[in-house]
Amino acid sequence: MRPVRTVFAGALLGTLVLAGCGQTSTTATPAASPAASSSSAAPGAAFPVTVEAANGTITIPKRPERIISLSATHTETLFAIGAGPQVIAVDDRSNHPAEAPKTDLSGFKPNVEAIIAHKPDLVVVSDDIDQIITELGKVNVPVLWEPAATKLDEAYDEIADLGAATGNQAKADEVVSGMKTSLEKLAAEAPQAKNLTYYHELDQTPYAATSKTFIGQLYGLFGVTNIADKAPDAAGGYPKLSAEFVAQADPDLIFLADVKCCQQNKAALAKRPGWQSLSAIKNDQVVELDDDIASRWGPRVVDLAQSIGAAVTKAAAR
């Protein structure tokens, strides 16, 4: 079986969260993410600060000035909260913002020696692959493990954690507040279209996301009904749907999060057995999402919500 591409599912679809075009995990077996983290640092607090991350209570002795991010999501967050000047290297999947100091460091196969060579005073990860946290701990490099968020509150909490850990708490709080306001506004402006059904495709095999997931929570803002919720193996949150199941459900809207990685579009969907006559295809309601935005749980979830809201509004007006 072709490996499933991780999209917000992150650690839930395997042990790997690699956000961006063409990233894959080595397994499709759902697994629970570590618990959400939290910060004990108050806005403007002096160092040292203590952050409760997935790898325990982490004390940052002084404001870090040589940060390495091995997560595309956290790279976006670090720059959004004003910590960009403190970031000296990011992994090979971090492609936003453009000014991020991209290197050949890998979050998929972290190399301890290569990381240490950059002399970091803080490393941020979304997975503990190959016990990278323990290995870096042996040379006294602080590591923050902020795993894939499973709900919006966890995403907000992780942004706050990074703010506290980098000395940018006030800006982090501002980012979170802005996200909440924007999402509330988008939900209020869009029609609550409970009569509309949708299918969000993670991977063309095809894997989907139910309403219980981070992705599903975003769609829930707009009141649409998720066809994946009735899938036989929906309990895990990320069921693999058969072509027959999707054809029978006949969703009003189809959202594709595998456009760049897997060359999926309306024409490609129409070639699948039984899909040519789907309502979403006939009515031009196939939405091609940006793979990167659809696979990360940082500040740009607002952009994803905007795409969803616009599509729902268009479909509701038909």
Q: Would you state the pLDDT for residue 221? A: 95
Omega cis (within 30) before 97: yes
Buried residues in 232-266 as b, exposed as e (16+ CB within 10 A): eebebbbbbbeeebbbebbbbbbbbbbbbbbebeb
What is the C-alpha separation between 151 and 236, in angstroms, rounded? 15
Q: Is the pLDDT of residue 189 over 70?
A: yes
Q: Are 60 and 8 in contact (CB under 8 A)?
A: no
pLDDT band at 230 (very low <50, low <70, confident <90, very high): very high
Q: Would you state the pLDDT for residue 12? A: 40
Both tokens assigned to 194: 């409970």
Q: Would you state the pLDDT for residue 193? A: 80
* Full-model pTM: 0.87
**Residue length, the chain?**
318
Q: Would you state the pLDDT for residue 22? A: 35
Q: Is the pLDDT of residue 313 over 50?
A: yes
Q: 21, 30, 24: which is closest to 257 by C-alpha?
A: 21
What is the C-alpha separation between 39 and 157, in angstroms, rounded? 8
Q: Are 125 and 12 in contact (CB under 8 A)?
A: no
Q: Would you state the pLDDT for residue 286? A: 98
Q: Would you state the pLDDT for residue 194? A: 79
pLDDT band at 45 (very low <50, low <70, confident <90, very high): low
Q: Would you state the pLDDT for residue 40? A: 45
**Domains of the chain listed by start with CATH number:** 34-184 (3.40.50.1980), 190-316 (3.40.50.1980)
Q: Do β-strands 225-226 and 197-203 pair in parallel, antiparallel, or remain unpaired? A: parallel
pLDDT digits (tens, 9 = 90+) for 75-99: 999 999 999 999 999 999 999 999 9
Helix axes 152-166, 72-80, angle to 10 degrees: 60
- Find the mean pLDDT for residues 92-113: 97
Print the SS3 string covering the chain.
CCCCCCCCCHHHHCCCCCCCCCCCCCCCCCCCCCCCCEECCCCCCCCCEEEEECCEEEEECCCCCCEEECCHHHHHHHHHCCCHHHEEEECCCCCCCCCCCECCCCCCCCCHHHHHCCCCCEEEECCCHHHHHHHHHCCCCCEEECCCCCCHHHHHHHHHHHHHHHCCHHHHHHHHHHHHHHHHHHHHHCCCCCCCEEEEEEECCCEECCCCCHHHHHHHCCCCEEHHHHCCCHHHCCCECCHHHHHHHCCCEEEECCHHHHCCCHHHHHCCCCCCCCHHHHCCCEEECCCCHHHCCCCCHHHHHHHHHHHHHHHHCC
Average pLDDT, the chain: 88
Q: Is the pLDDT of residue 35 over 90?
A: no
What is the C-alpha separation between 303 and 87, in angstroms, rounded? 24
- Comparing 29-38, 142-151, 193-202, 282-291, the range with the smallest average pLDDT is 29-38
Q: Would you state the pLDDT for residue 270? A: 96
Amino acid residing at 230 = K
- Find the mean pLDDT for residues 28-46: 44
pLDDT digits (tens, 9 = 90+) for 145-164: 999 999 999 999 999 999 99
**Percent with pLDDT over 70 in the chain:** 86
Q: Would you state the pLDDT for residue 110? A: 96
Q: Is the pLDDT of residue 20 over 70?
A: no
pLDDT band at 208 (very low <50, low <70, confident <90, very high): very high
139 by Cβ neighbours in 10 Å (0-12 / 13-18 / 19+) ranks as exposed
**Percent with pLDDT over 90 in the chain:** 83
Q: Do β-strands 56-60 and 49-53 pair in parallel, antiparallel, or remain unpaired? A: antiparallel
- Find the mean pLDDT for residues 109-118: 97
pLDDT digits (tens, 9 = 90+) for 249-302: 999 999 999 999 999 999 999 999 999 999 999 999 999 999 999 999 999 999
- Find the mean pLDDT for residues 221-233: 95
Q: Would you state the pLDDT for residue 46? A: 86
Name the β-bridge partners of 123.
68, 143
Q: Would you state the pLDDT for residue 316? A: 93
Neighbours of 29 (CB within 10 A): 13
